[in-house]
């Protein structure tokens, strides 16, 4: 970087001042870094260690030559230093500091200057260590750390920009915060932990057997008390400087410890587990925020291709990942139920974990997930607590829409925010009908998140005529209906997925469905349940079609959800002559599930009625592959009214099947497929996971190798697919890079 500033003077050449000097010098941010310290030895060491270019012996003359003056002295020394340098400060000289508390620094400046100069920009680097002195100076100390600027009412934009640039040159990220907020936040996140560490070590050190305590102290003690080795004078100064905010935090902490003490004394497992699981979840969440990662560990983010060898047959037994829709609803209703709900087979996806975290943030004790097992200590319909801040829902539209229904009726305010994808989507389809029920919800521009939901509204039951069928809209309104006066009725043009209604019944709450209208009344109670989340039928469909087209196949898919609104793939395959048997049919939380056995039997082309296809829309690409392997022609009709996304997906499948040599066309919302020989080669799934899965299955009947590009979406949405497919007999391998 070229030198953009002539001289920077650092007053106080200790850990922070020295680190700043060293970083600026190494990056050649200015021509000369001058150091000043009341301790001559520190200055000499600074010169010897190459931390500064020049050691100033006279503070006043050094100030008169500097473009920027940085105070890096203990906060208590600020007023004395300011008083000393004031006469030498030129009007254009920029002045900043690094003090850990800001209120008292600005107060000191006011006492010295009267009106604060526009060149004064207070700052605080959120980086440090328990060491002190220039010998500990580290040029990388601020890299990827935050520096908070707490502007005064007179700080000029030019000065602010210049100080921000100086910090950015050290690799830091610069933020601005109001002064009072800064001191409060730091009292909680930095000052309180330091005081606890000092106090714990002091308390233990006073015990008679302290040598043993320290000798045998394990990692936890060492980690927790590292910061008790920090400079006592500095912390003494900070306590005096930020007294009120620190006292407030100590009081909150003392009350928290008292609650825990009471729980331990009373062997109150629920309270103890509540405190520990909430803390663990928050700490994990915090770790992810720090590493800028998401709720679940992303398996892979680079490009992925699937390479498939032709032929093969399926055999064995498979258990598929849990259904996403049911996983969301189990967390919601389990939290609102009055006793414990135990879930097995919970799908640990980004989206369902966002729902889980939201309820944790509202005070619900949730253990797990651990290998699909989750235990929820329900709080009842009226038991949610105000969350500490906005509820972040990642890119989960289901979480945001369904939660909006629940939160519209709570006594407290909430704000729902999302990731970049979700923040582009309009929420008006739920906001408007909820407002008709009396909810008060504000949105961002064009109905987009964040949603600000005002609490304390008594909702009233309304009959909603929903023009575009959507299970999420229906679910949000039914959940709001749990709290509304009178009856909430939702009329839909076509039947949508009914997982919410079924799970409500499974938790003991009656829901009526007659002739396109779903109705619910308040006044019930949700009773905790045991829920074994069924395997996802869309995932199962991949293996059903695979076994149905590959000669010699026989496979058993265990515990798959066969909800009538989603089981179309079974009915269409049976219509084509597939040999499919359902065993162990049962209800789980009112959801029908079964083990599905599929044996190979030659398929016949058929005309698929629109009604049947409605319950298999997601599986259209797979059904087209089945049709390509069937005798004669198949027709799938009624697709024109199914939205652009479905048509796009079908068009991509048409293109890929044509590339494999199949006679297939899409016209006027109807797909015609003529069964034939499947070739091979390189195909593109346009980033659509369902198309990629269908083409992977087609390889079982291909004549040559098939390579499918852009399969990252499969890896993200169905990470277990390749392993399950290989186990079942599909000759697939993943190429990454
Ligand atoms: P440090 O290593 O002890 O350095 C402070 C230096 O300033 C010492 O060399 C000290 O000399 C000198 N000094 C004290 N009074 C002075 C005066 N009146 N005139 C000139 N020099 C004087 O402390 P530090 O950790 O760098 O802390 C400096 C500032 O950074 C503090 O305001 C602190 O709040 C802030 N800060 C610290 C951290 C951290 O983790 N350490 C993090 C962020 C911000 P003596 O040794 O003779 O006292």
pLDDT in tens, 583-605: 999 988 788 999 999 999 999 99
Q: Does 1 score more than 60 pLDDT?
A: no
Name the burial class of residue 668, with classes exposed (0-12), middle (13-18) and buried (19+) by CB atoms within 10 angstroms of its CB.
Answer: exposed
Q: Check residue 4 and give its pLDDT.
A: 66
**Inter-CA distances, 682 with 306, 560, 656, 678, 705, Å:** 10, 32, 9, 13, 8
Q: DSSP for 585-605?
A: EEEETTEEEEEEEEE----B-
State pLDDT tens for residues 82-95: 999 999 999 999 99
- Cβ(97) – ligand 1 distance below 6 Å: no
- Cβ(18) – ligand 1 distance below 6 Å: no
Q: DSSP for 343-406?
A: EES----HHHHHHHHHHHHTT-EEEEEETTEEEEE---TT-----SSPEE-TT-HHHHHHHHHH
- Cβ(682) – ligand 1 distance below 6 Å: no
pLDDT band at residue 123 using 50, 70 and 90 as cut-offs: very high
Q: Check residue 315 and give its pLDDT.
A: 97
- Cβ(85) – ligand 1 distance below 6 Å: no
Beta strands in 24-109 (DSSP E): 30-36, 54-55, 68-71, 94-97
- Cβ(14) – ligand 1 distance below 6 Å: yes
Distance between Cα 73 and ligand 1 center (Å): 4
Beta strands in 120-208 (DSSP E): 120-121, 123-125, 146-149, 173-176
What is the arithmetic mean of pLDDT over 265-285? Answer: 84
For residues 405 and 87, give the distance between their C-alpha atoms in angstroms, rounded to a whole number.
63
For residues 67 and 208, give the distance between their C-alpha atoms in angstroms, rounded to a whole number.
56
- Is 618 in the active site? yes
| Mean pLDDT score across all residues of the chain | 91
Name the burial class of residue 472, with classes exposed (0-12), middle (13-18) and buried (19+) by CB atoms within 10 angstroms of its CB.
Answer: buried
Distance between Cα 12 and ligand 1 center (Å): 6
Nearest alpha carbon, ligand 1 atom 1: 14
Distance between Cα 98 and ligand 1 center (Å): 9
**Domain spans of the chain?**
5-177, 185-267, 304-319+534-736, 325-532
State pLDDT tens for residues 3-39: 568 999 999 999 999 999 999 999 999 999 999 999 9
For residues 635 and 673, give the distance between their C-alpha atoms in angstroms, rounded to a whole number.
6
Beta strands in 39-139 (DSSP E): 54-55, 68-71, 94-97, 120-121, 123-125
The encoded tokens of residue 286 equal 């915090």
Q: Check residue 206 and give its pLDDT.
A: 75
Per CATH, the homologous superfamily of domain 5-177 is NAD(P)-binding Rossmann-like Domain (3.40.50.720)
Q: Check residue 294 and give its pLDDT.
A: 37
Q: Which atom of ligand 1 is nearest to the CA of 136?
A: 2
% the chain with pLDDT above 90: 71
For residues 63 and 83, give the distance between their C-alpha atoms in angstroms, rounded to a whole number.
12
C-beta separation of 19 from 128 below 8 A: no
- Cβ(99) – ligand 1 distance below 6 Å: yes
Q: DSSP for 435-473?
A: HHTT-EEE-SGGGPSPEEEES----B--EEE-SS--HHH
- Greater model confidence, 292 or 265: 265
Q: Does 266 score more than 80 pLDDT?
A: yes
- Produce one character per residue of 620-634: b if its CB has 16 or more CB atoms within 10 Å, e if not: bbbbbbbbbbbeeeb
For residues 395 and 298, give the distance between their C-alpha atoms in angstroms, rounded to a whole number.
14
Q: Which atom of ligand 1 is nearest to the CA of 18?
A: 26
C-beta separation of 213 from 204 below 8 A: yes
pLDDT band at residue 640 using 50, 70 and 90 as cut-offs: confident
- Neighbouring residues of 304: CB distance < 8 A, sequence distance ≥ 6: 710, 711, 712, 714, 715, 734, 735, 736
Nearest alpha carbon, ligand 1 atom 35: 99
Fold (CATH) for 304-319+534-736: UDP-n-acetylglucosamine1-carboxyvinyl-transferase; Chain (3.65.10)
C-beta separation of 732 from 312 below 8 A: no
What is the arithmetic mean of pLDDT over 164-193? Answer: 91
Q: Check residue 261 and give its pLDDT.
A: 96
Q: Does domain 185-267 have CATH number 1.10.15.40?
A: no
Place of tokens 């020989």: 677
Q: Which atom of ligand 1 is nearest to the CA of 237?
A: 34
Nearest alpha carbon, ligand 1 atom 4: 14
Alpha helices in 206-265 (DSSP H): 210-216, 219-225, 232-241, 243-265
C-beta separation of 674 from 664 below 8 A: yes
Q: Check residue 638 and give its pLDDT.
A: 79
- Cβ(613) – ligand 1 distance below 6 Å: no
Q: What is the DSSP letter of 227?
A: G
Other CB atoms closer than 10 Å to residue 669's CB: what's the count? 16
Distance between Cα 113 and ligand 1 center (Å): 22
Place of tokens 């021509």: 31
Distance between Cα 14 and ligand 1 center (Å): 5
% the chain with pLDDT above 70: 94
Identical fold for domains 304-319+534-736 and 325-532, yes or no, is: yes
Distance between Cα 19 and ligand 1 center (Å): 11
State pLDDT tens for residues 492-523: 888 888 999 999 999 999 999 998 899 999 99
Torsion angles phi and psi, residue 669, rounded to 5 = 70, 15
The H-or-E segment that residue 308 falls in is strand 304-308
- Cβ(487) – ligand 1 distance below 6 Å: no
- Neighbouring residues of 500: CB distance < 8 A, sequence distance ≥ 6: 329, 402, 471, 474, 475, 478, 479
Which residue in the list 53, 413, 618, 684 is annotated as catalytic?
A: 618
Would you tell me which CATH number, out of the four given (3.65.10.10, 1.20.1740.10, 3.30.70.660, 3.40.109.10), belongs to the domain 325-532? 3.65.10.10
Q: Does 293 score more than 50 pLDDT?
A: no
Angle subtended at Cα 481 by Cα 478 and Cα 482, rounded to the nearest 5 degrees: 100
- Cβ(105) – ligand 1 distance below 6 Å: no
Nearest alpha carbon, ligand 1 atom 10: 12
State pLDDT tens for residues 521-572: 999 999 999 999 999 999 999 999 999 999 999 999 999 999 998 899 999 9
Distance between Cα 530 and ligand 1 center (Å): 59
pLDDT band at residue 611 using 50, 70 and 90 as cut-offs: confident
Pair type for strands 304-308 and 530-532: unpaired
């Amino acid at each position: 970087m070229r030198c953009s500033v002539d001289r920077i003077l650092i007053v106080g050449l200790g850990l922070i001042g020295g680190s700043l000097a060293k970083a600026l010098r190494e990056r050649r941010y200015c021509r000369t870094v001058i150091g000043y310290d009341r301790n001559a030895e520190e200055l000499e060491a600074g010169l010897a260690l190459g931390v500064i270019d020049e050691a100033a012996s006279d503070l006043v003359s050094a100030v008169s030559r500097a473009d920027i003056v940085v105070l890096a002295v203990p906060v208590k020394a600020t007023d004395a230093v300011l008083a000393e340098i004031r006469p030498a400060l030129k009007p254009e000289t920029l002045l900043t500091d690094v003090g850990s508390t800001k209120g008292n620094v600005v107060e000191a400046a006011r006492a010295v200057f009267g009106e604060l100069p526009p060149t004064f920009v207070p700052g605080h680097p959120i980086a440090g260590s328990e060491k002190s002195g220039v010998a500990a100076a580290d040029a990388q100390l601020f890299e990827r750390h935050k520096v908070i600027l707490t502007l005064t009412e007179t700080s000029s934009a030019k000065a602010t920009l210049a100080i921000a640039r100086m910090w950015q040159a050290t690799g830091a990220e610069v933020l601005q915060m109001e002064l009072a907020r800064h001191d409060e936040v730091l009292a909680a996140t930095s000052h309180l932990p330091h005081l606890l560490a000092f106090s714990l070590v002091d308390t233990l050190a006073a015990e008679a057997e302290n040598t043993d305590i320290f000798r045998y102290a394990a990692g936890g003690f060492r980690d927790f008390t590292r910061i008790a080795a920090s400079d006592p004078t500095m912390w003494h100064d900070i306590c005096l400087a930020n007294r009120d905010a620190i006292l407030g935090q100590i009081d909150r902490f003392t009350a928290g410890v008292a609650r825990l003490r009471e729980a331990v004394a009373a062997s109150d497992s629920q309270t103890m587990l509540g405190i520990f699981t909430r803390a663990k979840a928050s700490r994990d969440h915090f770790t992810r925020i720090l590493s800028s990662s998401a709720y679940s560990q992303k398996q892979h983010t680079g490009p992925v291709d699937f390479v498939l060898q032709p032929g093969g047959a399926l055999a064995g037994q498979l258990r598929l990942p849990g259904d996403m829709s049911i996983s969301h609803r189990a967390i919601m209703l389990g939290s609102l139920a009055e006793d414990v709900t135990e879930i097995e087979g919970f799908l640990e996806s980004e989206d369902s974990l966002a729902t889980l975290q939201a309820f944790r943030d509202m005070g619900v004790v949730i253990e797990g997930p651990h290998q699909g097992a989750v235990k929820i200590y329900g709080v009842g319909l009226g038991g949610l607590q105000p969350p500490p801040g906005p509820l972040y829902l990642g890119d989960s539209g289901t979480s945001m829409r369904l939660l909006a229904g629940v939160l519209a009726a709570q006594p407290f305010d909430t704000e729902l925010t999302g990731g970049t994808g979700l923040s582009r989507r309009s929420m008006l389809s739920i906001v408007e009908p909820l407002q008709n029920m009396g909810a008060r919800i504000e949105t961002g521009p064009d109905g987009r998140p964040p949603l600000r939901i005002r609490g304390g509204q008594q909702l009233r039951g309304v009959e909603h005529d929903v023009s575009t069928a959507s299970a999420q809209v229906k679910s949000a309104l039914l959940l709001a209906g749990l709290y509304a006066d009178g009856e909430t009725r939702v009329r839909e043009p076509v039947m949508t997925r009914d997982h919410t209604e079924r799970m409500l019944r499974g938790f003991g709450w009656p829901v009526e469905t007659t002739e396109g209208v779903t109705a619910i009344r308040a006044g019930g109670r949700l009773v905790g349940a045991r829920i074994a989340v069924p395997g996802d039928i869309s995932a199962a469909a991949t293996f059903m079609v695979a076994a149905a087209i590959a000669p010699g196949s026989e496979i058993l898919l265990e515990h798959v959800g066969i909800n009538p609104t989603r089981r179309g793939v079974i009915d269409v395959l049976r219509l084509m002559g597939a040999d499919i048997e359902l065993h162990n049919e049962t209800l789980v939380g009112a959801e029908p599930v079964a083990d599905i056995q599929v044996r190979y039997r030659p398929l016949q082309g058929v005309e698929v009625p629109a009604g049947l296809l409605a319950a298999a829309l997601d599986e259209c690409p797979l059904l087209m592959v089945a049709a390509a392997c069937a005798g004669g022609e198949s027709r799938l009709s009624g697709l024109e009214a199914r939205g652009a996304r479905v048509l796009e997906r079908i068009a991509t499948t048409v293109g890929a099947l044509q590339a494999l040599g199949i006679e297939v066309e899409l016209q006027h919302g109807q797909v015609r497929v003529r069964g034939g020989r499947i070739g091979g080669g390189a195909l593109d799934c346009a980033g659509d996971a369902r198309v990629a899965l269908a083409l992977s299955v087609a390889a079982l009947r291909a004549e040559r190798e098939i390579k499918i590009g852009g399969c990252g979406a499969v890896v993200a949405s169905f990470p277990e697919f390749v392993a399950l497919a290989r186990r079942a007999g599909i000759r697939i391998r993943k190429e990454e890079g």
